Amino acid sequence: MSNEASPGTGTATSPAGSPAEGSGAPGIASFIDHTLLKPDAGEAEVLRVCAEAAEYKFKSVCVNPVWVKTVKRALKGTGVLTCSVVGFPLGATPSDVKAFEARGAVLDGADEVDMVIDIAAARASDRGALVDDIKAVAEAVHAGEAILKVIIETALLTDDQKVLACEAAVEAGADFVKTSTGFNGGGATTADIALMRRTVGPDLGVKASGGVRSLEDAQAMIAAGATRIGASSGIAIVKGEQGSSAY
Protein backbone atom coordinates (compact mmCIF):
# COMPACT_ATOMS: atom_id res chain seq x y z
CA MET A 1 0.00 0.00 0.00
CA SER A 2 1.15 3.59 -0.60
CA ASN A 3 1.24 6.45 1.84
CA GLU A 4 -0.03 8.84 -0.81
CA ALA A 5 -3.76 8.11 -0.70
CA SER A 6 -6.51 10.39 0.49
CA PRO A 7 -7.09 11.15 4.17
CA GLY A 8 -10.04 8.79 4.31
CA THR A 9 -7.81 5.78 3.76
CA GLY A 10 -5.72 6.49 6.79
CA THR A 11 -2.57 7.52 4.95
CA ALA A 12 -0.32 10.52 4.88
CA THR A 13 -1.58 13.49 2.91
CA SER A 14 1.84 15.00 2.18
CA PRO A 15 4.10 13.40 -0.42
CA ALA A 16 7.16 11.88 1.21
CA GLY A 17 9.30 13.62 -1.35
CA SER A 18 8.17 17.11 -0.25
CA PRO A 19 7.62 16.82 3.50
CA ALA A 20 8.04 20.51 4.31
CA GLU A 21 4.92 21.57 2.41
CA GLY A 22 2.21 22.75 4.80
CA SER A 23 4.47 22.43 7.84
CA GLY A 24 3.89 25.96 9.16
CA ALA A 25 1.69 26.49 12.21
CA PRO A 26 -1.58 26.63 10.20
CA GLY A 27 -0.90 23.34 8.41
CA ILE A 28 1.07 21.38 10.98
CA ALA A 29 -2.05 19.79 12.52
CA SER A 30 -2.47 17.56 9.48
CA PHE A 31 0.85 15.87 10.31
CA ILE A 32 -0.02 15.10 13.94
CA ASP A 33 -1.25 11.86 15.50
CA HIS A 34 -2.76 13.25 18.73
CA THR A 35 -1.61 10.63 21.19
CA LEU A 36 -2.90 9.27 24.50
CA LEU A 37 -1.16 6.04 25.49
CA LYS A 38 -0.96 6.38 29.28
CA PRO A 39 -2.03 3.12 30.95
CA ASP A 40 -4.21 5.00 33.44
CA ALA A 41 -6.12 7.09 30.88
CA GLY A 42 -9.88 6.90 31.41
CA GLU A 43 -12.88 7.50 29.19
CA ALA A 44 -13.23 11.19 30.04
CA GLU A 45 -9.62 11.84 29.05
CA VAL A 46 -9.99 9.82 25.85
CA LEU A 47 -13.09 11.77 24.85
CA ARG A 48 -11.34 15.07 25.62
CA VAL A 49 -8.47 14.11 23.31
CA CYS A 50 -10.98 13.21 20.58
CA ALA A 51 -12.70 16.59 20.96
CA GLU A 52 -9.32 18.34 20.72
CA ALA A 53 -8.42 16.38 17.60
CA ALA A 54 -11.72 17.33 15.95
CA GLU A 55 -11.26 21.00 16.89
CA TYR A 56 -7.68 21.29 15.69
CA LYS A 57 -8.06 18.92 12.70
CA PHE A 58 -5.27 16.56 13.69
CA LYS A 59 -4.54 13.60 11.41
CA SER A 60 -5.53 10.94 13.94
CA VAL A 61 -6.08 10.05 17.57
CA CYS A 62 -3.73 7.27 18.71
CA VAL A 63 -4.82 5.21 21.73
CA ASN A 64 -4.43 1.81 23.32
CA PRO A 65 -6.59 -0.95 21.79
CA VAL A 66 -9.18 -0.94 24.57
CA TRP A 67 -10.26 2.57 23.49
CA VAL A 68 -10.54 2.05 19.72
CA LYS A 69 -14.33 1.63 19.66
CA THR A 70 -14.80 4.68 21.86
CA VAL A 71 -12.53 6.81 19.68
CA LYS A 72 -14.11 5.61 16.44
CA ARG A 73 -17.56 6.63 17.70
CA ALA A 74 -16.35 9.96 19.03
CA LEU A 75 -14.59 10.87 15.78
CA LYS A 76 -17.40 9.87 13.43
CA GLY A 77 -17.93 12.57 10.82
CA THR A 78 -14.90 14.62 11.85
CA GLY A 79 -12.44 13.37 9.23
CA VAL A 80 -9.95 12.49 11.99
CA LEU A 81 -8.60 8.94 11.82
CA THR A 82 -8.49 6.32 14.55
CA CYS A 83 -5.08 4.83 15.33
CA SER A 84 -4.11 2.07 17.76
CA VAL A 85 -0.96 0.29 18.92
CA VAL A 86 0.08 -3.38 18.83
CA GLY A 87 2.72 -5.22 20.85
CA PHE A 88 3.06 -2.00 22.78
CA PRO A 89 5.37 -0.84 24.28
CA LEU A 90 7.92 -3.67 24.40
CA GLY A 91 7.44 -5.56 21.13
CA ALA A 92 8.23 -8.77 23.02
CA THR A 93 5.06 -10.57 21.96
CA PRO A 94 4.82 -13.51 19.53
CA SER A 95 4.07 -12.39 15.99
CA ASP A 96 0.83 -14.33 15.76
CA VAL A 97 -0.39 -12.59 18.92
CA LYS A 98 0.52 -9.21 17.45
CA ALA A 99 -1.39 -10.13 14.29
CA PHE A 100 -4.43 -11.19 16.34
CA GLU A 101 -4.29 -7.92 18.27
CA ALA A 102 -4.01 -5.97 15.03
CA ARG A 103 -7.01 -7.74 13.47
CA GLY A 104 -9.05 -6.92 16.57
CA ALA A 105 -8.07 -3.25 16.47
CA VAL A 106 -9.01 -2.97 12.79
CA LEU A 107 -12.32 -4.74 13.38
CA ASP A 108 -13.01 -2.29 16.19
CA GLY A 109 -12.46 0.60 13.78
CA ALA A 110 -8.76 1.42 13.65
CA ASP A 111 -7.73 3.06 10.39
CA GLU A 112 -4.06 2.78 11.33
CA VAL A 113 -2.02 0.43 13.51
CA ASP A 114 1.39 1.23 15.03
CA MET A 115 3.25 -1.99 15.92
CA VAL A 116 6.45 -2.45 17.92
CA ILE A 117 9.00 -4.73 16.28
CA ASP A 118 10.83 -7.64 17.89
CA ILE A 119 13.56 -5.41 19.30
CA ALA A 120 15.71 -8.36 20.38
CA ALA A 121 15.72 -9.59 16.77
CA ALA A 122 16.85 -6.17 15.58
CA ARG A 123 19.66 -6.07 18.14
CA ALA A 124 20.71 -9.55 17.01
CA SER A 125 20.63 -8.39 13.36
CA ASP A 126 18.16 -11.18 12.57
CA ARG A 127 16.60 -9.82 9.39
CA GLY A 128 14.48 -12.91 8.74
CA ALA A 129 12.84 -12.76 12.16
CA LEU A 130 12.12 -9.06 11.72
CA VAL A 131 10.55 -9.53 8.30
CA ASP A 132 8.39 -12.40 9.57
CA ASP A 133 7.26 -10.38 12.60
CA ILE A 134 6.30 -7.31 10.59
CA LYS A 135 4.78 -9.26 7.69
CA ALA A 136 2.40 -11.14 9.98
CA VAL A 137 0.98 -7.87 11.26
CA ALA A 138 1.06 -6.17 7.85
CA GLU A 139 -1.08 -8.92 6.35
CA ALA A 140 -3.61 -8.66 9.18
CA VAL A 141 -3.78 -4.87 8.95
CA HIS A 142 -3.95 -4.67 5.17
CA ALA A 143 -6.68 -7.33 5.06
CA GLY A 144 -8.82 -4.75 6.85
CA GLU A 145 -7.68 -1.98 4.46
CA ALA A 146 -5.85 -0.18 7.24
CA ILE A 147 -2.32 1.24 7.40
CA LEU A 148 0.65 -0.21 9.27
CA LYS A 149 3.33 1.88 10.96
CA VAL A 150 6.35 0.01 12.32
CA ILE A 151 7.99 1.30 15.52
CA ILE A 152 11.68 0.39 15.50
CA GLU A 153 12.53 1.95 18.92
CA THR A 154 15.58 3.88 17.75
CA ALA A 155 16.92 4.58 21.26
CA LEU A 156 17.69 0.88 21.72
CA LEU A 157 19.42 0.32 18.35
CA THR A 158 22.68 1.19 16.65
CA ASP A 159 22.54 2.95 13.30
CA ASP A 160 23.21 -0.34 11.51
CA GLN A 161 20.36 -1.98 13.42
CA LYS A 162 18.05 0.94 12.60
CA VAL A 163 18.83 0.51 8.91
CA LEU A 164 18.20 -3.24 9.15
CA ALA A 165 14.84 -2.69 10.88
CA CYS A 166 13.77 -0.16 8.25
CA GLU A 167 14.82 -2.46 5.42
CA ALA A 168 12.83 -5.28 7.04
CA ALA A 169 9.77 -3.03 7.26
CA VAL A 170 10.03 -2.23 3.56
CA GLU A 171 10.44 -5.90 2.65
CA ALA A 172 7.50 -6.92 4.84
CA GLY A 173 5.15 -4.41 3.21
CA ALA A 174 4.76 -1.78 5.93
CA ASP A 175 3.42 1.68 5.09
CA PHE A 176 5.45 3.71 7.59
CA VAL A 177 8.46 3.39 9.84
CA LYS A 178 8.32 5.16 13.20
CA THR A 179 11.04 6.13 15.65
CA SER A 180 9.83 5.40 19.15
CA THR A 181 7.19 4.30 21.62
CA GLY A 182 8.15 7.06 24.03
CA PHE A 183 8.25 4.46 26.80
CA ASN A 184 11.73 2.95 26.47
CA GLY A 185 14.05 5.92 26.78
CA GLY A 186 15.00 8.44 24.16
CA GLY A 187 12.77 9.71 21.38
CA ALA A 188 12.83 11.11 17.90
CA THR A 189 15.94 12.88 16.61
CA THR A 190 16.45 14.59 13.28
CA ALA A 191 19.48 12.38 12.66
CA ASP A 192 17.35 9.24 13.04
CA ILE A 193 14.60 10.66 10.83
CA ALA A 194 17.12 11.47 8.11
CA LEU A 195 18.65 7.99 8.39
CA MET A 196 15.23 6.33 8.20
CA ARG A 197 14.19 8.44 5.22
CA ARG A 198 17.40 7.58 3.34
CA THR A 199 16.83 3.90 4.06
CA VAL A 200 13.17 3.57 3.09
CA GLY A 201 13.29 5.97 0.14
CA PRO A 202 10.62 8.45 -0.93
CA ASP A 203 7.54 6.22 -0.97
CA LEU A 204 7.14 5.09 2.66
CA GLY A 205 5.94 7.34 5.44
CA VAL A 206 8.29 8.20 8.30
CA LYS A 207 6.81 9.04 11.70
CA ALA A 208 8.69 10.98 14.38
CA SER A 209 7.46 10.25 17.88
CA GLY A 210 8.78 10.75 21.38
CA GLY A 211 9.81 14.16 22.64
CA VAL A 212 8.30 16.31 19.88
CA ARG A 213 6.86 19.13 21.98
CA SER A 214 7.05 22.36 19.98
CA LEU A 215 6.39 23.73 16.52
CA GLU A 216 10.14 24.05 16.02
CA ASP A 217 10.64 20.39 16.99
CA ALA A 218 7.94 19.28 14.55
CA GLN A 219 9.24 21.44 11.71
CA ALA A 220 12.77 20.11 12.20
CA MET A 221 11.49 16.53 12.00
CA ILE A 222 9.52 17.29 8.84
CA ALA A 223 12.51 19.01 7.26
CA ALA A 224 14.56 15.88 8.01
CA GLY A 225 12.03 13.66 6.21
CA ALA A 226 9.12 12.93 8.56
CA THR A 227 5.63 12.80 7.09
CA ARG A 228 3.87 12.23 10.40
CA ILE A 229 4.39 13.42 13.98
CA GLY A 230 3.26 11.43 17.01
CA ALA A 231 2.77 13.71 20.01
CA SER A 232 0.65 14.33 23.06
CA SER A 233 1.68 18.01 22.84
CA GLY A 234 -0.22 18.58 19.61
CA ILE A 235 -2.11 21.62 20.84
CA ALA A 236 1.07 23.30 22.05
CA ILE A 237 2.69 22.54 18.70
CA VAL A 238 -0.07 24.12 16.62
CA LYS A 239 -0.14 27.16 18.94
CA GLY A 240 3.61 27.64 18.68
CA GLU A 241 4.05 26.96 22.39
CA GLN A 242 6.26 24.54 24.33
CA GLY A 243 4.58 21.32 25.42
CA SER A 244 5.45 19.56 28.66
CA SER A 245 4.23 16.04 27.99
CA ALA A 246 6.70 13.16 28.18
CA TYR A 247 5.49 11.75 24.83
Active site (annotated) includes residue 239: no
Out of 59, 72, 98, 207, pick the active-site residue.
Answer: 207
Out of 111, 114, 118, 192, pick the active-site residue.
Answer: 114
Active site (annotated) includes residue 207: yes
- Assess contact for 216 and 242: CB atoms under 8 A: no
Out of 98, 175, 178, 192, pick the active-site residue.
Answer: 178
User: What is d(CA 141, CA 114) in angstroms, rounded to the nearest whole number?
Assistant: 10
How far apart are the two ends of the chain, measured CA to CA in Å? 28
Active site (annotated) includes residue 178: yes
- Assess contact for 146 and 83: CB atoms under 8 A: no
User: What is d(CA 51, CA 38) in angstroms, rounded to the nearest whole number?
Assistant: 18
- Assess contact for 88 and 119: CB atoms under 8 A: no
* DSSP 8-class letter at 179: -
172 in helix, strand or coil? helix
DSSP string, 25-73: TTTGGGGEEEEE--TT--HHHHHHHHHHHHHHT-SEEEE-GGGHHHHHH
Q: Which residues are catalytic?
A: 114, 178, 207
